[in-house]
């Protein structure tokens, strides 16, 4: 046991040759408390963003009691570590086996669907159960989001009314859900989607018990500085209050990125510099999948004891450690121009998806994890003192956090 308060302390103590993931449970807990206290409804953590058991337990302790699970594997995982949590199987296309096991073995009663075929499948797999919460997912625009989720799921507007009527006949509670896309940069995304919800309810003339606005709540990245989350919550709540729904209807949301992006960062070592290209020891097949494959820009900071006095900042791209040319992150990542082999770089805001999408391709992927107590590189939740427990850290070997 020893003290680690931030990335630089880790560099000084260890001079690591392998990537290290730095965990900030206090940041995830702060985000969870923000949603619990300020979103005027129920917040479901979208487990796919980061399925770490330690993170799940942190969010639970901070007040997140509902979990959006998208596979039988996620159902089993959350049920194992949080047996009292409410699990909502929100993937619109599932196997009958997955539905049956979720319902009969893990007490899952909430399912989403976007077709009559899926509705029939749920009814069969649950043996015609009468205690189901069924959420019909409708298709909405992703034009205000950095990553679209509009093409794969969601009932077509021409089919929604009939599907709502059919679902109402077998559901104990009927819901409507949607997803505006990942990293929605304006509250208008939710206002426009809620108009589709209104139109669907009016056309179907059904009693709706749940309105689930899905995910899409943003975090902060270079070139992507969204407005305050309070504004999103206000717009959503105002739209919800104006809907023709049951007086006892519930408002839900499914934040993933917004709850866990600030939870983790990555400490990497520069193995080589070639012009403005840096060869680092993690990459596209590790924690930096998004940086490579969708051009996501993460905040970066050079972590060394010597300051770069008078050094200009410059734009860099990264190459990861594998032998694949696709292991390339174009950035640009802004760092002091004197960065060189042997230096360490912290890549921030990687708690969402980065930790979840690692592989061991080409023999790489072994990653250490440490808990630190400093603040994330960026936040939408304001600063607060870290918990004392975050100051002391133990080392653990893991390819998944």
Give the tens place of pLDDT for each residue, 30-84: 999 999 999 999 999 999 999 999 999 999 999 999 999 999 999 999 999 999 9
CA dist 212 to 42, 135, 176, 251, 322, Å? 9, 8, 6, 6, 41
Task: Quote the pLDDT of residue 272.
Answer: 96
- 310/236 same-domain check: no
Distance of CA 63 to the CA centre of its chain: 17
268 and 217 inside one domain: no
Q: Based on the fold, state whether residues 187 and 63 are members of the same structural domain.
A: yes
Four-point Cα dihedral 140, 146, 147, 150, nearest 10: 10
Contact 145, 129 (CB under 8 A): no
Question: pLDDT per residue over 313-325, tens digit each?
Answer: 999 999 998 888 8
Its pTM stands at: 0.90
Tell me, yes or no, if 239 is annotated catalytic. Answer: no
CATH number at residue 200: 3.20.20.10
CATH code, domain carrying 307: 2.40.37.10
The last residue of a domain, from among 209, 236, 260: 260
The number of folded domains in the chain is: 2
Residues 150 and 296 in one domain: no
- Same domain, residue pair 219 and 357: no
Catalytic hit among 135, 253, 260, 323: 323
Q: What is the dihedral of CA 237, 243, 247, 249, to 10 degrees?
A: -60
> For each successive 10 residues of the chain (401 residues), what is the average pLDDT?
74 92 96 97 96 97 97 97 97 97 97 97 96 96 75 86 97 96 93 95 96 95 93 97 90 97 96 96 90 92 81 93 89 95 96 83 79 93 50 33 46
Domain boundaries, position 32 = 25-260
Tell me, yes or no, whether 15 and 119 share the same domain.
Answer: no
Question: Phi first, then psi: what are they for 316, rounded to 5°?
Answer: -125, 155
241 shares its domain with 283: no
pLDDT in the model for residue 308: 66
pLDDT for 154: 84
19 lies in the same domain as 71: no
- pLDDT at position 393: 32
Is residue 60 domain-shared with residue 111, that is, in the same domain? yes
Do 338 and 251 lie in a common domain? no
Residues 362 and 323 in one domain: yes
- What kind and span of H or E run contains 26? helix 25-38
Beta strands in 243-352 (DSSP E): 250-253, 264-274, 277-280, 300-302, 313-319, 328-336, 344-347
Of 260, 288, 309, which residue constitutes the final position of a domain? 260
Domain boundary among 260, 292, 312: 260
Inter-residue contact 246 to 34 (CB < 8 Å)? no
* The predicted structure's pLDDT at residue 285: 85
Q: Are residues 32 and 164 in the same domain?
A: yes
């Amino acid at each position: 046991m020893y003290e680690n308060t931030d990335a630089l302390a880790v560099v000084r103590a260890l001079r690591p040759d392998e990537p290290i993931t730095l965990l900030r449970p206090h940041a995830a807990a702060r985000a969870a408390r923000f949603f619990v206290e300020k979103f005027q409804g129920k917040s479901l953590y979208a487990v796919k963003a980061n399925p770490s058991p330690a993170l799940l337990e942190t969010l639970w302790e901070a007040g997140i009691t509902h979990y959006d699970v998208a596979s039988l594997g996620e159902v089993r995982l959350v049920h194992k570590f949080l047996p009292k949590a409410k699990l909502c199987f929100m993937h619109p296309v599932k196997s009958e086996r997955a539905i049956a096991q979720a319902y009969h073995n893990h007490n899952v009663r909430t399912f989403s669907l976007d077709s009559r075929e899926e509705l029939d499948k749920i009814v069969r797999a649950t043996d015609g159960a009468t205690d189901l919460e069924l959420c019909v997912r409708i298709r909405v625009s992703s034009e205000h989001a950095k990553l679209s989720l509009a093409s794969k799921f969601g009932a077509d507007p021409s089919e929604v009314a009939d599907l709502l009527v059919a679902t109402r006949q077998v559901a104990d509670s009927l819901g409507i859900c949607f997803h505006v896309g990942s990293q929605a940069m304006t509250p208008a995304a939710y206002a426009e989607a809620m108009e589709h919800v209104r139109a669907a309810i009016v056309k179907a003339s059904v009693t709706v018990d749940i309105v689930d606005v899905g995910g899409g709540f943003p975090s902060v990245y270079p070139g992507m500085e969204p407005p305050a989350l309070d504004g999103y919550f206000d717009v959503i709540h105002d739209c919800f209050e104006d809907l023709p729904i049951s007086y006892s209807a519930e408002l839900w949301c499914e934040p993933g990125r917004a709850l866990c992006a600030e939870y983790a960062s990555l400490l990497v070592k520069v193995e080589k510099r070639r012009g403005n290209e840096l060869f680092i020891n993690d990459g596209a097949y590790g924690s930096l999948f998004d940086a490579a494959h969708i051009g996501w820009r993460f905040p970066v900071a050079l972590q060394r004891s010597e300051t770069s006095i008078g050094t200009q900042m410059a734009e860099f791209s990264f190459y990861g450690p594998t032998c694949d040319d696709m292991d390339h992150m174009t950035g640009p990542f802004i760092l002091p121009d004197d960065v060189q082999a042997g230096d360490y770089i912290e890549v921030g805001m990687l708690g969402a998806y980065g930790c979840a999408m690692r592989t061991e391709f080409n023999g790489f992927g072994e990653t250490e994890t440490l808990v630190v107590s400093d603040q994330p590189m960026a936040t939408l939740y304001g600063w607060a003192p870290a918990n004392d427990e975050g100051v002391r850290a133990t080392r653990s070997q893991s390819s998944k956090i």
